[in-house]
C-alpha cells in the first residue's frame, strides 16, 4: 500500500477563499524573512497568486449561490 500523499488538493478547501488568503499570508511571512532578493520576489509573487485563487473561489461561490437561488 502506498503512503504517498495525494497530489490533488481536497475539494473541501479548493473553493474556500479563506484557505487561499491564509496561504497568501503564509507566503508573505516567509518572503519577509528571506535574505535573497530574488527568492523574496518569487515568494511575493506566489502570495499574489494565492490572492488570485481567493478571488476566483469567491466568484465560484457566488455563482453557486446564484444557481441555488434560481432553482428555488
Look at the block and give the residue holding cell 511575493: 44
- Is residue 4 predicted with pLDDT exceeding 90? no
Q: Residue 68, exposed/middle/buried by CB under 10 A (0-12, 13-18, 19+)?
A: exposed
Q: Residues with Cβ < 8 Å from 13, sequence gap 6 or more?
A: 19
The predicted-structure confidence for 45-67, as pLDDT tens digits, reads as follows 999 999 999 999 999 988 888 88
The predicted-structure confidence for 13-56, as pLDDT tens digits, reads as follows 678 999 999 999 999 999 999 999 999 999 999 999 999 999 99
pTM, two decimal places: 0.76
Give the pLDDT of residue 10: 60
Amino acid at each position: 500500500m502506498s503512503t504517498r500523499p495525494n497530489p490533488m488538493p481536497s475539494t473541501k478547501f479548493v473553493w474556500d477563499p479563506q484557505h487561499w488568503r491564509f496561504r497568501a499570508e503564509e507566503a508573505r511571512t516567509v518572503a519577509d524573512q528571506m535574505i535573497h532578493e530574488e527568492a523574496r520576489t518569487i515568494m511575493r509573487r506566489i502570495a499574489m497568486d494565492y490572492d488570485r485563487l481567493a478571488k476566483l473561489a469567491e466568484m465560484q461561490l457566488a455563482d453557486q449561490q446564484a444557481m441555488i437561488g434560481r432553482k428555488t
